[in-house]
Amino acid sequence: MRFKSILLFGAPGSGKGTQGKILGSIPGFYHSATGDIFRSLDLQSEMGRIFWEYAGKGKLVPDEITIKLWKQYIKGMEMINQFHPDSEILVLDGIPRNIKQAELLDDTIDVVKVIHLICSDLNKMVERLRRRALRENRFDDASDEVIRRRLETYDRVTKPVLDHYPPDRIVHVEATMSQIRVLRNLVEFLVPLKEEHDHQREQAVAARESVKNH
C-alpha cells in the first residue's frame, strides 16, 4: 500500500515548514519534513557528517541517501505507532526535491495533491531566510551566498518536479499573504480530500467486516 500524500512545494522561505507543522497538528494528518529529519541527526554520525557537508554549502544531499533515510524514518514512525498510514494523510515538506527523488518515491507515496506555495517577491523570501537563520541558528542560511545558491537550486532542479505530477492535482497559493490567510487557503483544499479519504476508509472497513461475517 502506498501512503496517501500531500506535497508542500515551494522555494526555501516560502513557509512550507510553518504551514506543514500546523497541518500536522490536525488529527488525520502527519507532517514529515526532510530538513528536520536531517537536522535531528547526530553530527558525529556518518549521515550527520554527510548532511553537514552538503547543506552547509547550500547543496542537496545525494538522492539515494536522502530517499533511503526518509523511507527508513517513515517506516520507523509507523512501527512505533507515531504514523498511522491507514487513517492519516502524509504532509511532505522538502521532499521530493528533484525529478530523480520523485521517481524513487513513486513506489512508496500516492500523491493526491501538490500545494505549490508561490512567492513572487524574491526580496521577501531572502529576508525571511535571514531572519530564520538568526532565530533558529540555521547554519545553512547564515550567508547571503548560501541563500542565493539554495534559491537558485530550487529554480533549476526542484521546480521541474511539478511536471512529474498530473496538472489537475496541483494548486497554487500565493505565499506572501499572511500566514493565517495561506492556512485558510490550504485548509479549503484539504477538507474535501480528507473527507473523501475517511469515506474510502470507512467503505474498506465495512467491506472487510462483511467478508468476515460471511
Sheet order of strands, 170-174 included: 29-33, 89-93, 3-10, 109-118, 170-174
Asked if residue 140 binds ligand ADP (CB under 6 A), the reply is: yes
Find the residue with minimal CB distance to ligand ADP: 35
Helix (H) or strand (E) holding 111: strand 109-118
Asked if residue 74 binds ligand ADP (CB under 6 A), the reply is: no
- Give the cell for residue 82: 507515531
- Give the cell for residue 49: 557528517
Asked if residue 4 binds ligand ADP (CB under 6 A), the reply is: no
Asked if residue 55 binds ligand ADP (CB under 6 A), the reply is: yes
Asked if residue 35 binds ligand ADP (CB under 6 A), the reply is: yes
Instruction: Return the range that interacts with ligand ADP (CB under 6 A); candidates 76-84, 95-103, 119-127, 183-191.
Output: 95-103
Provide the β-strand partners of residue 115. Answer: 8, 171
| Count, residues near ligand ADP per rule CB under 6 A | 18
Chosen residue from 7, 9, 30, 97 binding ligand ADP by CB under 6 A: 97
Asked if residue 95 binds ligand ADP (CB under 6 A), the reply is: yes
Neighbours of 122 (CB within 10 A): 12
Asked if residue 9 binds ligand ADP (CB under 6 A), the reply is: no
**Minimum distance, C-beta of residue 9 to ligand ADP, in the bound complex (Å):** 11
Rounded to whole angstroms, the Cα distance separating 50 from 53 reads: 5
Helix (H/G/I), strand (E/B), else coil: 37: helix
> What is the chain's percent helix, strand, coil content, to nearest 5?
60, 15, 25
Chosen residue from 52, 54, 73, 165 binding ligand ADP by CB under 6 A: 54
Report DSSP state, residue 2: P
Neighbours of 179 (CB within 10 A): 12
Instruction: Return the range that interacts with ligand ADP (CB under 6 A); candidates 33-41, 77-85, 159-167, 204-212.
Output: 33-41
Asked if residue 34 binds ligand ADP (CB under 6 A), the reply is: yes
Helix axes 179-212, 16-24, angle to 10 degrees: 40
**By the 8 A CB rule, do 43 and 49 touch?**
yes
Asked if residue 52 binds ligand ADP (CB under 6 A), the reply is: no
**Minimum distance, C-beta of residue 132 to ligand ADP, in the bound complex (Å):** 8
- List residues binding ligand ADP (CB under 6 A): 12, 16-17, 34-35, 38, 54-55, 59-61, 66, 94-95, 97, 101, 140, 150
